[in-house]
């Protein structure tokens, strides 16, 4: 980044500082990950210069021969990786990808069933401030109060009662495996479309360690930057019969020119996801989450839904007389990054919340395994036992420093930047 350093030292410095921050902290936000350098290189390329409205072989602009190849490769790889009939790799992010499916298949005012945000759903599944909550009649389904798991019989009952035109499965903060086949049966029982949003679990699905929704759902949306560990972006998979509708709704419906540099990085991400190493990585994410949540439970913390089948788990802090917000703030000061999170049927507001969400994708990318998860659980325990004790926080931060040093991140990149 020599030319950036020369032209804009302020921005250069913040990029270097961010690389250092990522290296120096323990990143446990479940939706975050660290893209490999081959992804960053594709993302930072001259492909950012090219306008390519339309699709490969049918663009509105000339000069698209190289970007056509890039997009064709990205599509072919995604189809192979997930076994999808049709893929659109142009959506800029997960929320617009969901918007495309809504706009393509629904009329304003139609009924949509989706997971309650307070039980782990995403804002694009019906938050009243989001387009989804404004344009459609949202019928939320939650989790069972006792088991804190999806209750498929109850979802089936709600579907019969409300006759939705579309049912959405998928979540941002649900720790257990989701049965997409059961959702298909429910959707069929009322003639609804099924949209599955695998933004969080796409990496697990790609590696075959979580059931795939692709055989069961008409539409599957996903981001590329969470467990999939690619660039910030999204894509849509669908059955062939909806291909034209979805493509038209992405462009010209919802977007203009696609981000060809990001699409190139998505192609690289799909290639990476086909490697045996990626499969091993996803398996390790699951092992780490399980050991981590078990250890937290041993330390006396209540784990929502009794544990995890995925890359994340939720800790209920109610019995510790602490809010999610205060816990996340104290942990941040000790160099441990988590987010506050509502727990099912949380009496507190989302700004305060009774729990925290912990995810293992990013620390697993650094190479950490079960032994490190146990250590981190104890560090969290130390912080939360005495969250206002400054000396305690400093002591844990030192421990964090010692641990992250053994698992360096972007080592060569930081060294190169420092030498420039």
Ligand X SMILES: *Cc1c(COP(=O)(O)O)cnc(C)c1O
Nearer to ligand X, 92 or 283 (CB): 92
* Per-residue exposure over 307-332, b if at least 16 CB sit within 10 Å of its own CB, e if not: ebbbbbbbbbbeebebbbbbbbebbe
Measure the CA–CA gap between 130 and 219, rounded to whole angstroms.
20
Cβ-based neighbours of 241, under 8 Å, separated by 6 or more: none
Rule CB under 6 A: say whether 90 interacts with ligand X: no
Measure the CA–CA gap between 382 and 398, rounded to whole angstroms.
13
* 247 labelled catalytic: no
Query: Helix crossing, 390-406 with 9-24: angle to 10°?
Result: 90
CB of 412 to ligand X, least distance (A): 28
Q: Given candidates 143, 171, 338, 342, which one binds ligand X under the rule CB under 6 A?
A: 171
Q: Which of 22, 148, 197, 316 is catalytic?
A: 197
Q: Which of 5, 20, 51, 302 is catalytic?
A: 51
* 223 labelled catalytic: yes
Tokens of 201: 């679990």
Q: How many residues bind ligand X (CB under 6 A)?
A: 14
- Residues in 238-297 that interact with ligand X by CB under 6 A: none
Q: Among 63-71, 90-98, 99-107, 353-361, which window interacts with ligand X (CB under 6 A)?
A: 90-98
CB of 230 to ligand X, least distance (A): 12
Nearer to ligand X, 202 or 393 (CB): 202
Is residue 74 a contact partner of residue 264, using CB atoms and an 8 Å limit? yes
Query: Helix crossing, 370-385 with 324-333: angle to 10°?
Result: 110
Q: Per-residue x/- mask for ligand X, residues 131 to 170, rule CB under 6 A? A: ---------------------------------------x
Q: Which of 223, 224, 360, 365 is catalytic?
A: 223
Rule CB under 6 A: say whether 223 interacts with ligand X: yes
* 226 labelled catalytic: yes
Q: What is the DSSP string of 52-109?
A: --EETTEESSS--HHHHHHHHHHHHHHHHHHT-SEEE---SSHHHHHHHHHHHH--TT
Q: Which residues are catalytic?
A: 51, 53, 197, 223, 226, 232
Return residues touching ligand X (CB under 6 A): 31, 93-95, 122, 124, 170-172, 197, 199-200, 223, 234
């Amino acid at each position: 980044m020599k030319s950036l350093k020369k032209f804009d030292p302020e921005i250069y410095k913040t990029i270097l500082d961010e690389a250092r921050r990522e290296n120096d902290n323990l990143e446990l936000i479940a939706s975050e990950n660290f893209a490999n350098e081959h992804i960053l290189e594709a993302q930072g390329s001259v492909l950012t210069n090219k306008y390519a409205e339309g699709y490969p072989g049918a663009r509105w602009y000339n000069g698209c021969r190289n970007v056509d190849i890039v997009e064709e490769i990205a599509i072919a790889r995604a189809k192979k990786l997930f076994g999808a009939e049709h893929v659109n790799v142009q959506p800029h992010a997960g929320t617009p990808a969901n918007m495309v499916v809504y706009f393509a298949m629904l009329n304003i005012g139609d009924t949509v069933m989706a997971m309650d945000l307070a039980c782990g759903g995403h804002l694009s599944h019906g938050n009243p401030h989001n387009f989804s909550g404004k344009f459609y009649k949202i019928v939320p389904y939650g989790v069972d109060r006792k088991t804190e798991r999806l209750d498929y019989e109850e979802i089936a009952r709600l579907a019969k009662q409300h006759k939705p035109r579309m049912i959405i499965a998928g979540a941002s903060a649900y720790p257990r495996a989701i049965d997409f086949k059961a959702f298909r049966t429910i959707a069929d029982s009322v003639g609804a479309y099924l949209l599955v949003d695998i933004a969080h679990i796409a990496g697990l699905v790609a590696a075959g360690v979580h059931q795939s929704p692709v055989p069961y759902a008409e539409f599957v949306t996903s981001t590329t930057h969470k467990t999939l560990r690619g660039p910030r972006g999204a894509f849509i998979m669908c059955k062939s019969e909806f291909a034209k509708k979805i493509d038209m709704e992405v462009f010209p419906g919802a977007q203009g020119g696609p981000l060809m540099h990001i699409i190139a990085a998505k192609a690289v991400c799909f290639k990476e996801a086909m490697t045996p190493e990626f499969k091993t990585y996803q398996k390790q994410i699951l092992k780490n989450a399980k050991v981590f949540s078990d250890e937290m439970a041993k330390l006396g913390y209540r784990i929502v839904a009794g544990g995890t089948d995925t890359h994340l788990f939720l800790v209920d802090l109610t019995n510790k007389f602490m809010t999610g917000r205060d816990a996340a703030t104290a942990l941040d000061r000790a160099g441990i990054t988590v987010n506050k999170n509502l727990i099912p049927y949380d009496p507190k507001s989302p700004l305060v919340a009774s729990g925290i969400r912990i995810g293992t994708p990013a620390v697993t990318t650094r190479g950490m395994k079960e032994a490190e998860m146990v250590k981190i659980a104890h560090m969290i325990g130390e912080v939360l036992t005495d969250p206002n004790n400054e000396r305690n926080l400093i002591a844990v931060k030192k421990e964090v420093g010692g641990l992250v040093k053994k698992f360096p991140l972007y080592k060569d990149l930081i060294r190169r930047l420092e030498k420039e």
